[in-house]
Amino acid sequence: MVGMDLFGMWLFQEAVAFDFLSMWRAMGYAAKLVVIALFVMSAWSIGVMIDRWLAFAAARKQSRTFAPLVAGALREGKIDEAVRIAERHKKSHLAKVVTAGLQEFQAHQAAAITSEDIEASKRALDRASAIVHAELKRGLSGLATIGATAPFVGLFGTVVGIINAFRGIAASAATGLAAVAGGISEALVATAIGLFVAIPAVWMFNLFTSRVESFDVEMDNSSSELIDYFVKRSAAAGRK
């Protein structure tokens, strides 16, 4: 009996081909469209991951160089030099925000500095922070959508594949595990691909979201410090 069972398992393995190419050939048109859609979603999400990773790495690297340089220029009262330093660090999220505030403040230096001028600089900083925040989040909503929907797209392909498998079984009037295993395995490929696409997308979305939040904190702190600098400069000008 044991020999017959082993012989039957060998026949089953020989009858059912589990390589991807054989499964692809056996899939129906709907299942193939689902798999193609999942591969397109995967390619798009990988592109977003690479783009955001490079952008965030460049922003962090340039900001670490920019912060001490601009702080030194502002301590010496060299606003023009601070603006030039910011323009040399175009990929830094801090430089983009600080540049907006400095340029707005610089525009009112010819006259006496008033509280309205400081408020205008604050609004310029807020606008720049909002723009940079939107730039940092570019593509992340699509990454979240892929992470949330890819498993369901794969499940749809699995359902369609199982339906086609049972239709084939009914048409051939075959019975037994070997009759259904091949069709079900082909159908489950779509779910596996959907999970393969979704899991990295969800992980990277959470990672990038935390990075954006830390960048937001850094921009808020820089804006507050710059406003404090403007207030102190205004007070010193008033005492003169």
Q: pLDDT tens for residues 53-75?
A: 999 999 999 999 988 888 888 88
- Cα separation, 12 vs 10, whole angstroms: 5
Asked if the model's pLDDT at residue 15 lies above 60, the reply is no
- Cα separation, 12 vs 185, whole angstroms: 13
Domain segments of the chain as ranges: 27-235
Q: What's the mean pLDDT in 159-176?
A: 69
What is the number of alpha carbons within 13 Å of residue 90 lying toward its C-beta?
Answer: 2
Whether the Cβ atoms of residue 194 and residue 159 lie closer than 8 Å to each other: no
- Cα separation, 96 vs 129, whole angstroms: 8
Q: What percent of the chain has pLDDT over 90?
A: 35
Asked if the model's pLDDT at residue 108 lies above 80, the reply is no
| Region label for 92, one of left (φ > 0), alpha (ψ between -120 and 50) or beta (otherwise) | beta
Structure tokens at 215: 């960048």
Residue 177: pLDDT band (50, 70, 90) is low
Neighbours of 225 (CB within 10 A): 14
Neighbours of 45 (CB within 10 A): 23
- Cα separation, 194 vs 33, whole angstroms: 13
Q: What pLDDT was estimated at residue 2?
A: 38
- Cα separation, 8 vs 99, whole angstroms: 75
What is the number of alpha carbons within 13 Å of residue 173 lying toward its C-beta?
Answer: 0
Neighbours of 105 (CB within 10 A): 25
pTM: 0.78
Structure tokens at 77: 């009262």
Tokens 């591969």 found at: 39
